[in-house]
Chain A
């Protein structure tokens, strides 16, 4: 049987429900600009004694997964574009200065010697042109090494950032489990967790799944666990004895390290490792090939010649690659040792100088298809292409992330107009319930006055 007091109870639940709904709306409005905030909707349901309100995060796990994977790729390209941009500076010859010009000067100096094989100024100019050219190769090689070492430091920093994320994720997992068990709202923790996973994705390639307790579990791409519930593993680095660079390792429960450098392919860490271990190494190799070919070709001819005193020619260059190519110090000290002549008796014969000067047009590189100059130009072109590709991939990926971010926001971010509308709706429902309460009060008074 319906009584006034039971109606009053129903009306009370209506007032409380609208209040709770307004609380959710106000929380949404308050967090309109909060990064990673997921809006909540009010779910109002009827009960035997009136209504009740609960809140729910508005969330699309597919979009979040896509966003994470897009961020992983973006992280990789961000790292690549950043490092390649600084590598490009090393190969920048736009002002007409650089190795290319130094090479031209070097060959020109040999030609000068052909014109006047005994000239002491021609010999000094040649020695210093060769020295300049060798220095350019040394500098380029050491600049590349410097960038490589810089990236190596960044790898350590990135690994530390990954470990920090892993610890926080495990800690949040624990809080979520506790809150869920206690029947409390865990949505704040969920928001933070989503942000952390997004951040972790941009650092390294991972796969994630949610377990039965609503906790996020994380694995490396090769299946090694990083977070399982409230347990977390960590990554570390160790110096590779061959390369002197840092290897990334995964530490198991006992703290045993397994090297996983090769399996990391995505995220910032993947980008760093690729530029450090592949891109830079490839450029170094090409510079070394160029330097070694110049050393071999020039020395091979030079040692068959005779210097100004009729003594057999010494090695013109020392060293084996771009890092250590140098003009023989004996020649730098005494340019008369330059062996321009093909005969011990003919000091002013310049035929060895001629042969060396003609090396600039010889197809000495790439198995006899390319000149030294063109080989280097091709390397510069390749660096340019790599940089342009990295930049454009970065641009494209930024748009992709933007798209997923928009999709996520479309589902999860707060719209003020929407919240205002709902606020008005809940407010009028509250007013109506209050009116009912007033009517009940008057009814009660009427009853008492009888």
Chain B
């Protein structure tokens, strides 16, 4: 083929461009420390990296959820343990009924009742632990709310059926503002509607009002009243993996039987109607309440170990994905460095060649 100076010059320019371009590509890899710097560098790797990153961030979320759930379980566990030991004390008191000073014991049982209510109302991150799906409402509280001029119903629980129930509603200063008397009440949760009016028929201001309940049966004997469980069955679902959830029991009705028994003991003491038969039946009831709590603790520890397994698995998966990203995105830096060295040399050789081509003498130099 006939070759002219022009062709050689054009080729020289093209070769310098090509070598410089290659050098630029390799130096980008070395400088950025990554082989895949934009999708077109390696389209399938770029897609894979994105998928892996999304998966890692998903796993990180699961891991965070698991750790939050662990906190929930720990709080629940210590709550249950405290209730359990309180109930044990209560059982001791009730069983030792032969030789007791009624006032002291009454005081102790009332305090235990209050503490169990407090524990049942334990909060974590501003929501109630044992409120079922009504985590913003205290599960056990003898209180009723008026909002926007409308009063909620009064909700309370009775240990047995009653003929007459008297509800005294008090304001924040402790003054009785309204007394509701209803005839008939059944064992368990009762609901009485309230119009929000005080005794003189005036609508009370919005706010929370406490109430106390006293009840008597047909023969005029006192019926024990206690705080009703205001939550529901609930069930706290936690996502701990792809389509894998664990459900934590947050049904606060767990404490109802204990509160009923404690209230019965307190009412009997107050009314001096305490009998050995009652003591033994209450002791049995407390025993079964404690068994329920222990069962719940076992269930929690099962969930806890399930979480631990999931946590370890997610940690391992995350590590594997990070390694994969490292392998495809970062590549082998040593190889890249060597390539850079080789490419620098290749470019120098090209430049030298071009220089000698351009310095090539013409026929006219010899004439």
**Residues on A close to B: CB < 8 A?**
32-33, 88-89, 91-94, 96, 100-101, 103-105, 107-108, 111-112, 114-119, 341, 343, 345-351, 354, 357-358, 360-361, 373-374, 376-378, 380-385, 387-388, 391, 402, 405-406, 409-411, 413-418, 420-421, 424
**A402/B14 in contact, CB under 8 A:** yes
Chain B residues within 8 Å of A350, by CB:
236-237
**A346/B232 in contact, CB under 8 A:** yes
Residues A409 and B40 in contact in the complex (CB < 8 Å), given A354-B237, A354-B245: no
Among B7, B36, B39, B68, find the residue whose CB has the most chain A CB atoms closer than 10 A: B39
A358 to B238, CA, bound (A): 11
Chain B residues within 8 Å of A33, by CB:
6
- Say yes or no for B234: interface residue by CB 8 A criterion: yes
Q: Which of B2, B238, B364 contacts A415 (CB 8 A)?
A: B2
A115 to B14, CA, bound (A): 62
Chain A residues within 8 Å of B69, by CB:
115
**B58/A385 in contact, CB under 8 A:** no
A92 to B135, CA, bound (A): 43
A346 to B44, CA, bound (A): 46
Chain B residues within 8 Å of A383, by CB:
39-40, 43
Residues A345 and B4 in contact in the complex (CB < 8 Å), given A409-B10, A420-B364: no
Q: Which of B7, B58, B136, B237 contacts A406 (CB 8 A)?
A: B7
Chain B residues within 8 Å of A358, by CB:
239, 243
Q: Which of B42-59 contact A (CB under 8 A)?
A: 42-44, 46-48, 50-51, 53-54, 57-58
- Say yes or no for B242: interface residue by CB 8 A criterion: yes
**A103/B2 in contact, CB under 8 A:** no
Q: Which of A345, A384, A420 contacts B43 (CB 8 A)?
A: A384
Tell me, rounded to whole Å, the shortest Cβ–Cβ distance linking A38 to chain B.
12
Chain A residues within 8 Å of B238, by CB:
114-115
Tell me, rounded to whole Å, the shortest Cβ–Cβ distance linking A401 to chain B.
10
Chain B residues within 8 Å of A377, by CB:
47-48, 50-51, 54
- Say yes or no for B37: interface residue by CB 8 A criterion: yes
Q: Which 9 A-B pairs have the closest CB atoms?
A: A384-B39, A346-B133, A384-B43, A381-B47, A348-B135, A387-B40, A349-B133, A104-B57, A385-B43
Among A351, A384, A391, find the residue whose CB has the most chain B CB atoms closer than 10 A: A384
Contact indicator per residue, chain B 102-144, by CB within 8 Å of chain A (1) or not (0): 0000000000000000000000011100011111100000000
A108 to B238, CA, bound (A): 13
**A94/B54 in contact, CB under 8 A:** no
A114 to B69, CA, bound (A): 11
- Say yes or no for B362: interface residue by CB 8 A criterion: yes
Q: Which of A88, A117, A345, A410 contacts B39 (CB 8 A)?
A: A88
**A361/B243 in contact, CB under 8 A:** yes
Q: Which of B44, B47, B58, B363 contacts A421 (CB 8 A)?
A: B363
Q: Which of B2, B234, B242 contacts A346 (CB 8 A)?
A: B234
**B43/A388 in contact, CB under 8 A:** yes
**B50/A416 in contact, CB under 8 A:** no
**B14/A347 in contact, CB under 8 A:** no
Among B47, B57, B238, find the residue whose CB has the most chain A CB atoms closer than 10 A: B47
Chain A residues within 8 Å of B36, by CB:
94
* 30 A-B pairs whose Cβ atoms sit less than 8 Å apart in the complex: A88-B40, A91-B39, A93-B50, A100-B53, A101-B54, A104-B53, A107-B58, A115-B69, A119-B126, A341-B133, A346-B134, A354-B239, A357-B239, A361-B243, A373-B54, A376-B50, A377-B54, A380-B47, A381-B39, A381-B47, A384-B39, A384-B43, A402-B14, A405-B10, A406-B10, A413-B4, A416-B4, A416-B5, A417-B362, A417-B363
Tell me, rounded to whole Å, the shortest Cβ–Cβ distance linking B367 to chain A.
7
Residues A347 and B43 in contact in the complex (CB < 8 Å), given A406-B7, A411-B2: no
Q: Which of A94, A117, A414 contacts B37 (CB 8 A)?
A: A94
- Say yes or no for B191: interface residue by CB 8 A criterion: no
Among B53, B239, B242, find the residue whose CB has the most chain A CB atoms closer than 10 A: B239
Chain B residues within 8 Å of A88, by CB:
38-40
Residues A378 and B6 in contact in the complex (CB < 8 Å), given A107-B58, A387-B39, A420-B367: no
**B363/A114 in contact, CB under 8 A:** no
Residues A348 and B39 in contact in the complex (CB < 8 Å), given A341-B133, A377-B50, A410-B2: no
**B3/A118 in contact, CB under 8 A:** no
Additional A-B contacts beyond A346-B134, A347-B134, A410-B1 (13; CB < 8 A): A94-B39, A96-B53, A100-B53, A100-B54, A104-B57, A114-B65, A346-B234, A348-B132, A377-B48, A384-B39, A387-B43, A410-B3, A415-B4
A416 to B302, CA, bound (A): 92
Tell me, rounded to whole Å, the shortest Cβ–Cβ distance linking A136 to chain B.
13
Chain A residues within 8 Å of B68, by CB:
115
Tell me, rounded to whole Å, the shortest Cβ–Cβ distance linking B265 to chain A.
33
**B46/A384 in contact, CB under 8 A:** yes
Chain B residues within 8 Å of A347, by CB:
133-136
Tell me, rounded to whole Å, the shortest Cβ–Cβ distance linking B26 to chain A.
16
- Say yes or no for B339: interface residue by CB 8 A criterion: no
**B43/A382 in contact, CB under 8 A:** yes
- Say yes or no for B61: interface residue by CB 8 A criterion: yes
Chain B residues within 8 Å of A354, by CB:
237, 239, 245
